Chain A
Amino acid sequence: MTIVFDTLAKIGFFFVLIMGLVVVLIWMERKGAAFIQDRTGPNRASIGGVRLAGLVHPVADVFKLLFKEDVAPANRHAALYNLAPWLVMTVAMSTYAVIPFGDYLTVAGRRVPLVAADLSVGLLYVLAIASLATYGVVMAGWASNNKFTFLGGIRATSQMISYEISMGLALMGLVLVFSSLRLTDIVAGQGDLIWGFLPKWGVVVQPLGFILFIVAVFAETNRNPFDLPEGESEIVAGFHLEYSSMKFALFFMAEYAHMVIGASLIATFYFGGYQIPWLPRPLIEANAGLILTLKLIGVALISMMIAMLFFRRAQKEKGKFGDARDREPVLGAGLWVLVAGGALAGLVLKPWTIGPVGADMVASLLQVMAFVAKVVFFAWLFIWVRWTLPRFRYDQLMHLGWKVWLPLGLANLVVTALVMAIV
C-alpha cells in the first residue's frame, strides 16, 4: 500500500509543478514578450487595486475561460471534437511518469526514489508518448470540419513525423555514452566528472546531439519558430480555431505543459537533471549544516538587494501614475524584505547543527530545487526564442528536418559509436 501512496504523492508533486509553472509561464511569456519588444506588458487586471506586475492576469484568464460560452461548429464530428483537447492534455502530462526530479528521499526509514515510474525503457517511453502527442492535434483539426483547422492538423502531423526521427537519433547518441535506457541511470551518470573538473553532462559529451535534440523538441512542442500548425497569419489559428471556452483553454494549457516537459527533458538528458555540478550527494550530506546556513544567508542577502532595487524605483517614480500603481514598488520591496526576514529567522534555529535525517532532507530538497531551476531556465529559453526568431516557411521546415537534421543525427550516432569503441 505504501508504494501506491508514494506514487500518488509523486504524481501530485508533478501535477502541482506543471499547473503552477503553467500559470507562471503565461505571465513570463507576456512580460518576456513585452521586455523583448520594449513595452510594459499586461498590468491592468487587479484585485482591489493590487496589480502585482501582471501576475493577476492569469487568474483573470482562468475566470474568463471558465465562464465563456462554449461555441462549437454545427457540422463537427462531436466525439472526436470533444476527445481532442482532453487527449492533448493527458498525453502532455503522462511524459512526467519517468522523469526523475531528485535522487531519493528518506521517509520514516524508507528510501523513496524521486521518480514516479523508474522504467527500464524510460527513454523509449518518452519517445512513445511524444509520438502519441500528435493525435490530439490531428483529431482537433479534422473533427472541427474546417479547412484551416484541417490544414493545421496536417501540418502538425508531418512536422512531428519529421522531427521525431532526429529526436530519437540524437537521444541514441546519449544512450551510447551512458549505456542505459533508464532515465535515473542517465541522470546518475551525469554526476561524474571528466578529467576531474568538467561535469559529465550530456551537453558536454554530446554537443551536436544537444543542438539536434533542442531543435527537435521545439518542433515537437509546436512553438515558434516551428508553430506552423497554428500559423495565425496563414491559417487563422490552425488546429484550435474552432475551439472556445475551456476546450480552448485545455489546448492553451497543453502548449505550456509541453513547454515544461520539453524543458524537463532538456534538463534531464543534457544538463544533469537534478545533479548540482561539483556537489555530489555524499558531499551535500556531509556538509549539510554549512550549506544550509550559507544558503539562508545568501537568500537573505539577495532578497535584500532586490528589495533595495524596489525601494529605489519607488523613490524615482514617486507619483508617476497618480493611482494605486504608485504603491506597487513599495509592496514588492515589502515582500522581499519579508523573504529576507524569513531567511534570517531560519538562522535562529541553528541550521549548522543539523542531524543526519535533516542532512538527507536538505540534500533531497537541494536536488529538487536544482531540477526546478533548470526547468524554469529552459522554459524561459522557449519564450526567449519565440519572441526572437521569425516563423519558418513550410518547405524550409521540411528541408531542415529531412535533409539537414536527419543526416547530422546519423553522423552524430556513427561518430559517437566510433569514439565509444576506441575509448
Chain B
Amino acid sequence: MEGILFWVCGILMVFGGLMMVVQRSAVVSAVWLIFAFVCAAGIFALLSAPFLAVMQILVYAGAIMVLFLFVIMMLQGPVLEGGRKRLALPMWPAVAVPPMAIAVMIIGYVKRHGTTGMGGPAPEGFGSPEHVAELLLGKYLLAFELISIVLLVAIIGALAVGKDERKLPWK
C-alpha cells in the first residue's frame, strides 16, 4: 500500500513539476507548482513525518503560493494571452539543469550509502511535532533563532523598500 502511494505521489509530483516549467501562462505554472507541493506533502506523510507534511501544505502550498499567485495575477492581470508560443531559447537551461543536478545528487548518494538507503524503520515518535520541537528548540536552537532574525530583517527591509520614502522615520 505504501509502495503504491509512494509511486503515485512521486510520479504526480514530477509530472506537476514538469508541467509547471513548460506552461506558457505564469498563473497556470503556479497552480501546477501548488499541485507538486501537495504531492511532496504526501511523500513526507509516507516517510512518517506528519509534521513536515502538514507544514509543507500550510507554509508552501498555502501561504507562500497564495502570495505568489496574488503577485502574478496582479502583474499579469485578468486578460489571458492568446496564441501558442514556442519555448524561448534561454528557457532550455532552466529545463535541463535541475534534472542534471538531481542526477548528480542521486549518484553521490548511491556511491556513499549504496542502494539500500539509510536502513531501518523510523523510531517511535519520529517526525511528530514533539520530536521536531525538541530538535528546533534544543539541538538547532542557535540556527533557528538566527534564521528568525534574518526573516525579521527581511520583513523590515521589505517595509522600508515598499514604503513612501518621504514618510520613513529617519528622513
Counting CB contacts under 8 A, is A7 at the interface? no
B31, B53, B79: the one contacting A145 at CB < 8 Å is: B79
Check B51–A124 contact: CB distance below 8 A.
yes
Question: Which of A26-34, A126-134, A225-233 lies at the interface?
Answer: A126-134
Question: Which of B65-73, B85-93, B143-151, B154-162 lies at the interface?
Answer: B65-73
Given the contacts A142-B73, A181-B129, A124 and B66 also touching, CB distance less than 8 Å: no
Check B73–A131 contact: CB distance below 8 A.
no
Closest to A130 in B: B62
Counting CB contacts under 8 A, is A75 at the interface? yes
Counting CB contacts under 8 A, is B61 at the interface? yes
Counting CB contacts under 8 A, is A154 at the interface? yes
Counting CB contacts under 8 A, is A40 at the interface? no
Give the A-binding residues of B (Cβ under 8 A). 25, 27-28, 31, 34, 50-51, 53-55, 57-58, 61-63, 66-67, 69-70, 73-74, 77-80, 128-129
B28, B31, B69: the one contacting A157 at CB < 8 Å is: B69
Given the contacts A120-B129, A138-B69, A131 and B58 also touching, CB distance less than 8 Å: yes
Check B27–A142 contact: CB distance below 8 A.
yes
Q: How far is the CA of A147 from the CA of B79 in the complex (A)?
A: 9
Q: How far is the CA of A258 from the CA of B50 in the complex (A)?
A: 25
> What interface size band does chain A fall in?
20 to 34
Given the contacts A128-B57, A128-B58, A138-B73, A157 and B80 also touching, CB distance less than 8 Å: no
Most chain A CB atoms below 10 A, which of B28, B54, B70, B80: B54
A–B Cβ pairs within 8 angstroms, 24 of them: A77-B25, A77-B27, A79-B28, A119-B54, A120-B51, A120-B128, A121-B51, A121-B129, A124-B54, A124-B58, A128-B55, A128-B62, A131-B62, A134-B66, A135-B31, A138-B66, A138-B73, A142-B73, A145-B80, A150-B78, A153-B73, A157-B69, A157-B70, A164-B63
Q: How far is the CA of A154 from the CA of B51 in the complex (A)?
A: 30
Closest to A182 in B: B129
Q: From residue B46, how far is it (CB to closest CB) to chain A in Å?
A: 14
- 7 other A-B residue contacts (CB within 8 Å) besides A77-B28, A79-B28, A128-B57: A80-B27, A124-B58, A128-B54, A134-B62, A138-B66, A142-B78, A157-B66
A80, A121, A139, A146: the one contacting B78 at CB < 8 Å is: A146
Q: How far is the CA of A124 from the CA of B45 in the complex (A)?
A: 14
Counting CB contacts under 8 A, is A160 at the interface? yes
Which residues of A sit under 8 angstroms from B67, Cβ to Cβ? 161
A75, A121, A131: the one contacting B80 at CB < 8 Å is: A75
Which residues of B sit under 8 angstroms from A80, Cβ to Cβ? 27-28, 31
A125, A145, A146, A164: the one contacting B54 at CB < 8 Å is: A125
Check B55–A161 contact: CB distance below 8 A.
no
Q: Which of A129-178 contact B (CB under 8 A)?
A: 129, 131-132, 134-135, 138-139, 142, 145-147, 149-150, 153-154, 157-158, 160-161, 164
Give the B-binding residues of A (Cβ under 8 A). 75, 77, 79-80, 119-121, 124-125, 127-129, 131-132, 134-135, 138-139, 142, 145-147, 149-150, 153-154, 157-158, 160-161, 164, 181
Most chain A CB atoms below 10 A, which of B27, B57, B62, B74: B62
Closest to A75 in B: B80
Given the contacts A128-B58, A153-B73, A160 and B50 also touching, CB distance less than 8 Å: no
Check A154–B129 contact: CB distance below 8 A.
no
Q: How far is the CA of A62 from the CA of B163 in the complex (A)?
A: 50
Which residues of A sit under 8 angstroms from B51, Cβ to Cβ? 120-121, 124
Check B129–A132 contact: CB distance below 8 A.
no
Check A132–B55 contact: CB distance below 8 A.
no
